[in-house]
Homo-oligomer: A and B are copies of this chain.
Amino acid sequence: MEERGIGVVETRHVTFAEPPNELTLESGQKLGPVTVAYETYGRLDEKKSNAVLVTHALSGDAHAAGVHFGEKKPGWWEPLIGPGKAFDTDKYFVICSNVIGGCRGSTGPSSINPRTGAPYALSFPFITIGDMVAAQKKLIDHLGIEKLLCVAGGSMGGMQALQWAAAYPDRVRSVIPIATTLKHSPQQIALSEVGRQAILADPAWRGGNYYAHGQPERGLALARMIGHITYMSDKSMEEKFSRKLKSENYRFSFDPEFEVEGYLRHRGDSFVRRFDANSYLYVTKALDYFDLSGGDLIPEGRPCDIRFLVISFKSDWLYPSYQSRDIVAFLRTRLVDVTYCEINSTYGHDAFLLEFDEETRLIAHFLDKTYDSTKGKP
């Protein structure tokens, strides 16, 4: 049987310009009008009960599955979204939107500020995961969906999923936080901060006003290189590179000598072609502000009938399993229906973008059960 895919998809955009055409952010600042870039896969059923929101990580975008016209590379979660896949588009209506603060179609620091006609740059207000989710809720309202069947995502996507449960508990039936945390730890903040410092230290950053001149390429590439080290595990790096050299012998040079150095350089260089440096600053800040600990995920006394599937990966040292177990332990104190699985992967944090077989088994079953238990409910 031929494998069916989603095929050609298009990113759509919606701008919330009706009064009040501003989002009041957690910082107290206002942002508006807000545009949200999104894609959808599958069909919304009559009762609008089959909608699943998929949320992306730091450098992700709305293009989660299918291919754009004329391109070959599919969306970032292609193996999980489509007919017969984990997020089965024969059954579910899957939505993915770019976060605000990002640079892939939703309003962010590289967008034109309508008040000045120039890019926001550092006049862009600080945003939080809560603000990202508030913009997503406007999109879900716009699509006429009362209650999402599920919100699912890995890493920063997992934070958004948790934030949905915290901020809009009546609007979501289930949540799948993957390789994520209830709060950014000091180590995670520190790793964000060195990435930001790499950008801020690049003279080409020009205080954020580089749009007429080109990106602070070296700083942004360096931030990405640091990131990539944290996305892989010690073991996956050993398996992929070991101490292999780019040429036969040591060259005694500060140019890349080891394959792992060349790989990092390559990943850094290709990142600057698709990601805005100021977005990197703002979005990593949103990660660092994230903190739903201390009961904020489900305030005491609030009943919660959201079902949770929490997934972590054994070799993930950026968002270690203990952080997922902390989520689970908290949910159990609130007597919430929660399933937890630690997948025995060597891929490190990247595993949420690679361990498709295990993820498919867990997610497909969990969504089925959730859908069956809520079938017919609007």
- Residues of A whose CB lies within 8 Å of any CB of B are 27, 29, 125-126, 183-187, 189-191, 193-194, 196-198, 200-203, 218-219, 222, 225-226, 228-229, 232, 234, 237-238, 240-243, 250, 252-254, 256-261, 264, 281, 285, 288-289, 291, 317, 320
Residue of B nearest to A320 (CB): B234
Task: Tell me whether A264 and B225 are in contact (CB under 8 A).
Answer: no
A196 surroundings in chain B (CB, below 8 A): 254
Task: Tell me whether A250 and B289 are in contact (CB under 8 A).
Answer: yes
Task: Tell me whether B27 and A240 are in contact (CB under 8 A).
Answer: no
A238 and B186 contact, Cβ closer than 8 Å, known pairs A193-B261, A229-B191: yes
Residue of B nearest to A200 (CB): B254
Residue of B nearest to A268 (CB): B197
One complex includes copies of this chain to the number of 2
A187 contact from B125, B226, B229, Cβ within 8 A: B229
Q: Give min CB distance, A119 to chain B, whole Å.
A: 17
Q: Give min CB distance, A115 to chain B, whole Å.
A: 19
Q: Give min CB distance, A147 to chain B, whole Å.
A: 32
Task: Tell me whether B184 and A243 are in contact (CB under 8 A).
Answer: yes
Task: List 7 A-B pairs, minimum CB-CB distance, nearest first.
Answer: A126-B252, A186-B237, A186-B260, A201-B218, A186-B241, A187-B234, A193-B261
* Docked complex Cα distance between A250 and B256 (Å): 40
Interface centre among A27, A185, A202 (most CB of B within 10 A): A185
Residue of B nearest to A282 (CB): B254
11 contacts between A and B (CB under 8 A): A126-B253, A185-B243, A187-B232, A187-B234, A187-B237, A197-B218, A198-B201, A198-B222, A201-B218, A243-B291, A254-B281
